[in-house]
Amino acid sequence: MTAHSVKNLGWETRPLAEWVQFQRGLTYKKSDEVPFSGNAVLRANNIDRLTGMLNLEEIRYIRDDVEVHDRLKVRAGSLLICTASGSKSHLGKVALIEEALDFAFGGFMGLLIPNPGLDPRYLFYVTRSSLYDDFIDSLSDGANINNLKFSDLGKLAVPIPPLEEQKRIVAVLDQAFAALDRARALAEANLGDAEELFENTLEAVFEQFASSDLILPLGEAVHPDCKLSYGIVQPGDDVASGLPIVRPVDLGRPIISLAGLKRISSDRADGFSRTKLTGAELLLCVRGTTGEVSMASPELAGANVTRGIVPVRFDPAKVDLEFAYFQMRSPFMRKQIAKKTYGAALMQINIKDVRELKFVRPSLDIQRKAKAEVRQLHDRAERLIGDYQAKLDDLASLRQALLQQAFSGELT
């Protein structure tokens, strides 16, 4: 989009600050919070980033005797925006307030109130576009900022057509996005069905052993040399040619290789020889997303892990690694881990409880037969999941293409 093309359409492109009024949120003390009152306060978690809609499931309340001025309450036709967050991913997310609500908004939030001549829903669509996302990203320039000043946000150059054209664009986008939402819901349902089918198969395979004498504590099922220990507590800074380490953030895919791993000074691993990898382990997350698991590739021999991961190594003469991987992913094992997981801000499971997890160890022949059955369905499910995820990605790209056309004057 060029300024010239927009100008020829009779559109104006001016800073956001010239189109809206900005109101900062309510500040209050922690001691003002109560379980319930007539003073409801919206926060960052009340904005769904994916849909840009309000989520009213977790409302914060403050004492009734705390005076809340009307200007600190959301109003119909305004946009609620997150202006401060511990996570950069939440910064700048916006929800459209479509109806009057007797809710205040917190000090880490702000309200964008469009001036006459700017349709609120048109502005909302602007905030759903790459035009807006790229601008928010540019403010941080890659830094981990956690505050968004209106003096900076107000510099966003917004293309504004005449009001009637705004309303026409909104009507076209509403209709198109409603169809895209239906398509996304169908793709998400299909994605969920594929994942559920695989989960059900895992559950059926491993639950058949649940009451047998083939179960023993995980601590007794591992290789005699495996002590089931936590990894490096303070790995330190990244060192280009240093020792590779696996972190919880690296897990999620079936096999972990060297690519993309953080590297640290080798002396940081002193005292952590128990978690030195051979390249034939399961890597079990015990902090954060407890129960997440991957297999270490042979090229990880000599690498190590951080505090949030416990390497699990088996005797290959007794346990097939891939069989163990699928078992750790099964509801049979995940239910056990969930039951032993504790914490609020940081979920974790104690090493003692990890050692006591019930582990199924039938004969190698049975393990390999079960593994082959699960792997066949796993590969099929992965193909389906990949297809449905590609559809979701295509729908997201189509949304952005429509928004790009809308703000370039090309939407018919």
Using DSSP's 3-state secondary structure scheme, residue 388 falls into helix
Query: Within a domain: residue 391?
Result: no
256: pLDDT strictly greater than 70: yes
Let me know how many helices (H) and strands (E) the chain has, helices first.
10, 21
8 Å CB contact between 157 and 7? no
Q: Are residues 215 and 337 in the same domain?
A: yes
Torsion of CA 223, 226, 228, 231, to 10 degrees: -140
pLDDT at residue number 64: 95
The CATH code of the domain that includes 339 is 3.90.220.20
Q: Please name the amino acid found at residue 305.
A: V
Query: Beta strand pairing status for 157-160 and 12-15?
Result: antiparallel
Find where tokens 């319930």 sit: 36
Q: Are residues 239 and 341 in the same domain?
A: yes
Q: Alpha helices of 259-350 — where are they, by DSSP H?
A: 321-329, 331-340
Distance between CA atoms of residues 116 and 20, nearest Å: 9
pLDDT at residue number 177: 93
Q: Are residues 225 and 353 in the same domain?
A: yes
369: pLDDT strictly greater than 50: yes
Query: Within a domain: residue 175?
Result: no
Q: Are residues 239 and 155 in the same domain?
A: no
Q: Please name the amino acid found at residue 185.
A: A
pLDDT at residue number 40: 96
Q: Are residues 7 and 131 in the same domain?
A: yes
Query: Within a domain: residue 240?
Result: yes
Query: Within a domain: residue 217?
Result: yes
151: pLDDT strictly greater than 70: yes
When pLDDT is cut at 50, 70 and 90, the band that residue 211 belongs to is low
Q: Are residues 11 and 148 in the same domain?
A: yes
Distance between CA atoms of residues 54 and 58, nearest Å: 11
pLDDT at residue number 138: 86
Find where tokens 């939407």 sit: 411
Q: How far is CA 144 from CA 81, 90, 153, 184, 263, in A?
A: 18, 12, 17, 31, 21
Q: Are residues 44 and 121 in the same domain?
A: yes
Mind listing the pLDDT tens digit for each residue in 290-300?
A: 999 999 999 99
Query: Within a domain: residue 156?
Result: yes
Q: Are residues 124 and 218 in the same domain?
A: no
Among the candidates 361, 381, 404, a domain finishes at: 361
Find where tokens 């109101």 sit: 23
Mean pLDDT estimate for the chain? 90
Query: Within a domain: residue 9?
Result: yes
pLDDT at residue number 3: 43
3-state helix, strand, coil in the chain (%, to 5): 40, 20, 35
Q: Are residues 15 and 121 in the same domain?
A: yes
Query: Beta strand pairing status for 94-97 and 78-82?
Result: antiparallel
User: What's the total number of domains in the chain?
Assistant: 2
Query: Within a domain: residue 373?
Result: no
Provide the token pair at 336.
């056990």
pLDDT at residue number 142: 45
Q: Are residues 150 and 251 in the same domain?
A: no
When pLDDT is cut at 50, 70 and 90, the band that residue 265 belongs to is very high
Q: Are residues 93 and 234 in the same domain?
A: no
Q: Are residues 214 and 121 in the same domain?
A: no
Query: What does the pLDDT average to over 265-275?
Result: 93
70: pLDDT strictly greater than 90: yes
Provide the token pair at 411.
């939407």
Q: What is the pTM of this model?
A: 0.64
Query: Within a domain: residue 172?
Result: no
Provide the token pair at 263.
């590297």
Structural domain harbouring 86 = 3-160
